[in-house]
Structure 1
Amino acid sequence: MFKRSSLAAGLLVLFSGLLQAAGSQSDWSRFLDQAGFGPTPAETDAWAQQDPLAWIQSQAALPPTLYPSLLPYPSSSQTGCPGTGMVYTACITQNYTMYPLQVQFFQNALLSPDQLRQKVAFSLSQILVVSGNKVRQPSSMSPYLNVLVNGALGNFRDLLQNVTLNPAMGQYLDMVNSDPASSNGIVKPNENYAREVLQLFSLGLYLL
């Protein structure tokens, strides 16, 4: 059902024509903009004289830059953030919202060496979607983002399995507490996730 070749190998094929044509510094800069979050001038200069495919291979060899493990926050913000005024507001922002993960995303995008992995993980997050509007615990969202980072250059079947088993996805697409079908047909399992697997997660954004 699933092709077991790695996403990294697919990227080599996807970019091969562009890379062969990337003879100028502006070509290289454009490619690195697309494959990452934007190169520094030094990075553009360093790679302009190298084998283009070597960049993808070097990126695939880098260890992933992951999101931090976060503790579940208390059910009551007053318990976790005593006080009033600006101190209370800052505590809420830093501990009861997705703010720590948003900060980490921009740090990864701007500073991490594994640019290709981070860009692919970001692209996957636009397809294998979960939302902080429903998954309100950053402690649950962080492991999900790490599933995408770890699987960004790997095998799509393994990635989809890990996404399926992740609690954040279970909560977002209603697998949590979904009941099996009853013999009389009155109770039916929630099919929200199954539908998305067959549609958005498999076909992508432009074939629906």
Structure 2
Amino acid sequence: MAVVNLVPVGPRACLAEVEDAVAAASLATWARAQGVAAVEIVPAAATVLFDGVDVASLGGSLSSWSPSSDPVPGPLVRVPVTYAGPDLETVAAHWGCSADEVVRAHTSWEFRAVFSGFAPGFSYLSGLPAERSVPRLDSPRARVAPGSVALADTWCGIYPTASPGGWLVLGTTDVVLWDVDRPQPALLAPGTRVRFEAAG
């Protein structure tokens, strides 16, 4: 069964446990497109929260989903990046290539926001090939600048505000990740496709 388990978390909410973050994003996107009756559908690392649902009937509503279901394409956001981050050479060493080749690779892939967390506007972006996985810093920085584009494991992310962090920083962008005056405050909501471009 595609949905591993359904766990009620109240009279009108339920967690659907799935294999991983990509499956969670797929289920959430599919459920929205299918019109599954819920006030909110929130994907995470290996679960999807269905809030404001009929818990008893949710299993039937999700029965036709599978991880192989064609994803519904999300909007595409292009993010210009100044690739001069403090860890660019470190990533190049991990990948066995030059810094310029890191930039070419990073701008060649399409990423997808699969879930949000850590800070308002921070989205975990999938799309980094498994063989390009990189470790976090041994000791996190006390302050990472807002707009920092960074990698950790097989994730890519952009720090929306200044904060501590242990990801490897490739560069910076001026895009605003979180703005409460927008109809949708998060620029990179789950399902959004992301392409990075070298600025200037």
**TM-score interval (norm. to shorter):** under 0.3
Give 1 or 2 for the bigger CA radius of gyration.
Answer: 1
Which is richer in helix? 1
The TM-score, its normalising length taken from structure 2, stands at 0.23
TM normalised by structure 1 equals 0.23
Bigger fraction of residues in strand: 2
